[in-house]
Structure 1
């Protein structure tokens, strides 16, 4: 698979299984993540714009983010 660039429209990505947090609210204010084929990375999209641009992260980048969130590194961003 060719490398997928940040900003690629999510609708142009291969068929992916998108997931969002169980903490998402009904108004659609959430992001969705999907694993790219072959472990090529993780795609992130805005659930309100499912055909819009996707951000692409490496597995290591997502791991660092999730572990940082678990440790409270971003708690100051939550009201």
Structure 2
């Protein structure tokens, strides 16, 4: 099932987006990073840095805000392998 976010299909090839990808300063040089890019209307695209030509997930501004809130509240810490 394809999901469209304001005309962008989730899973769109990341290389087709005309954006500047950014990653955390905490990322290691091993290339195991998630990169994000701002999109119009507050949307955000995510991609795997080890597959820059691969798919990008596109999130609405509210979805991204909810995710960041969960990160700040440590709701995803159980998923970390530390």
Taking structure 1 as the reference length, the TM-score comes to 0.88
Following TM superposition, by how much is the alpha carbon of 1:12 offset from its aligned partner in structure 2, in angstroms?
Answer: 1.3
Unaligned runs of 5+ in 1: none
Gaps of 5+ in 2: 1-5
Question: Equivalent residue of 1:29, what SS?
Answer: coil
- Per the alignment, residue 48 of structure 1 pairs with 50
- Report the Cα distance in structure 2 between the residues aligned to 1:40 and 1:77, rounded to whole angstroms: 27
Question: What is the aligned-residue RMSD (CA, Å)?
Answer: 1.3
Structure 1 consecutive aligned stretches of length 4 or more whose deviation exceeds 3 Å = none
The number of residue pairs the alignment matches comes to 76
Find the aligned partners of 2:46 and 2:54 in 1 and give their Cα distance: 10
Counterpart pick for 1:36 among 14, 29, 39:
39
Query: Residue in 2 aligned with 1:11?
Result: 15
CA distance, structure 1, for counterparts of residue 34 and residue 63 of structure 2: 16
Q: TM-score, normalised by structure 2?
A: 0.85
